[in-house]
Amino acid sequence: MQDSPETEDPEPPGPLEASAVSAPDASFGSSYEIRVPLPPPLIPQRPRTQPTFPRPAPYRPRFVTSPKSQAFRLRHYPEASQSDWNDWRWQQRHRIKSAQELERLLQLSPEEKAAIERHVGPLPFGITPYYASLLDPEDSSQPLRRTVVPVLEEYAHTAGEALDPLGEDATSPVPGLVHRYPDRVLFLVTGLCAVYCRYCTRARLVGASGEGSLKKHQLEAALAYIESTPSIRDVLLSGGDPLSLDDERLDWLLSRLRRIPHVEFLRIGTKNPAVLPQRITPRLTRLLKKYHPLWMSIHFIHPDELTPEVAEACGRLADAGLPLGSQTVLLKGVNDDVPTQKTLMQGLLKIRVKPYYLYQCDPIAGSSHFRTPVAKGLEIIQGLRGHTTGYAVPTFVVDAPGGGGKIPLLPDYVAGRIGDDLLLRNYAGDLYRYPDPEGTVGCGKIASIDPCASA
Ligand code: SF4
């Protein structure tokens, strides 16, 4: 059965195979009787009954739709069939891009409306109908809504903020490539995203120039750079969202990268499984499967994103053999507390995504209303480590402004030293001694009992 690239459920009701393979062979009985005439039966034969065939299964769409988004579709998009709704291109085409469109779905606060109408330049406003179905129509402080609907604070630029806080432009050898670490490059293949996050680190790039992707000659220049730089063993496709590319372009790009002998490892950074899960079609997963080892980092923000649709999308990717990791930005008023993060991380494990990074929000221009103190990230890690399975604990990192790279931060579990013993604090705050006669870790922590302090 062929999968359409466009839609998930175009097939007619019931399994086609059942009627095709189960049809009775009418010729068999008559030819048998002609060739081998049988004597009259000694035992009276029972009347022949019609063969029975399995009843066709009731029609079910091939991509799951939660009751919530189903109700939303029927209410706000009555003209759209379920097949339309499950078609990622339909979702892309029907993105909500103006205050007027959004007002049809949500009760906008005056602040939200003014912020959307004031907007010019990159990081446009855009939300898929699917993701809009997850937003609270009345509460403008709902976490998901805060991440995608602009507010006026976005226009306030504070000290220490920058358009390019990570200094990516300074480490770009050709347009679309960032080569900061020796053995890997970031390949920004498109400026198009299904949904625009209001805290985006690449706000200066995404949605700029009419949401375009790199032109063929720019892609060729970037590929030529990778081909001529043997130290590059890892290429991370990002953007924008690389899964905004259609299957043909993605296939072409991945095949070109796979042909480069020194590129050992490919990664895709995407938010589509969370905001446009319909994009994860069987056709896409078959395509991706051809390019292993291929890993995927998926951007998740809040447990409210973990819907049946998202579980289905991640299940398909995992079944195709892609190791899945999550990336989460720590955002004030959105996910800056332990219970929310624990629910998110545990929920991700249930849909086969390993929590990978928890990011301190970059000092991108206009993001001060989203940024927490760094101590908040440490508090969250402390609230996770030991309190839930280790797989659910991401690495908390600060991406150093100016291009210093990711710096991991951990709560301090070293309490000091007592003689030859290292004094450690466990997740519950209890102290334990570990014999470490040659060690120096912990020196200076507890002056009164620290032999190193008097040395
Ligand atoms: S999906 Fe990623 S690249 Fe696109 S707006 Fe969100 S954070 Fe930025």
Q: Is the pLDDT of residue 222 over 80?
A: yes
- Superfamily name and number for 169-408: Aldolase class I (3.20.20.70)
How far is ligand 1, taken at its centre, from the CA of residue 54, in Å?
Answer: 48
Q: What is the pTM of this model?
A: 0.85
Strands (E), 271-337: 294-299, 324-330
How far is ligand 1, taken at its centre, from the CA of residue 199, in Å?
Answer: 8
Chain-centroid distance of CA 284 in Å reads 15
H or E segment at 178? Answer: strand 177-178
pLDDT tens for 316-335 read 999 999 999 999 999 999 99
193 is catalytic: yes
- Asked if 330 contacts 377 with a C-beta cutoff of 8 angstroms, the reply is yes
The CA distances from residue 339 to 220, 310, 344, 346, 420, in Å, are: 46, 21, 9, 10, 38
pLDDT above 90 coverage of the chain, percent:
76
> What gap in Å lies between CA 191 and CA 214, rounded to an integer?
8
List the domain boundaries for the chain. 67-155, 169-408, 414-454
Closest CA to 263 of 298, 297, 228: 228
pLDDT tens for 179-190 read 999 999 999 999
Bridge partners, 378 (sequence order): none
Residue 198 Cβ < 6 Å to ligand 1: no
The pair of three-digit structure tokens given for residue 76, joined into one six-digit string: 């706000």
Residue 240 Cβ < 6 Å to ligand 1: yes
Supply the pLDDT for residue 62: 79
Of residues 241, 304, 336, 399, which has the active-site annotation? 399
Closest CA to 201 of 372, 396, 364, 360: 364
Supply the pLDDT for residue 284: 97
How far is ligand 1, taken at its centre, from the CA of residue 241, in Å?
Answer: 7
Supply the pLDDT for residue 19: 32
> What gap in Å lies between CA 142 and CA 302, rounded to an integer?
11
How does DSSP classify residue 342?
H
Residues 341-356, mean pLDDT to the nearest whole number: 98
pLDDT tens for 121-131 read 888 999 999 99
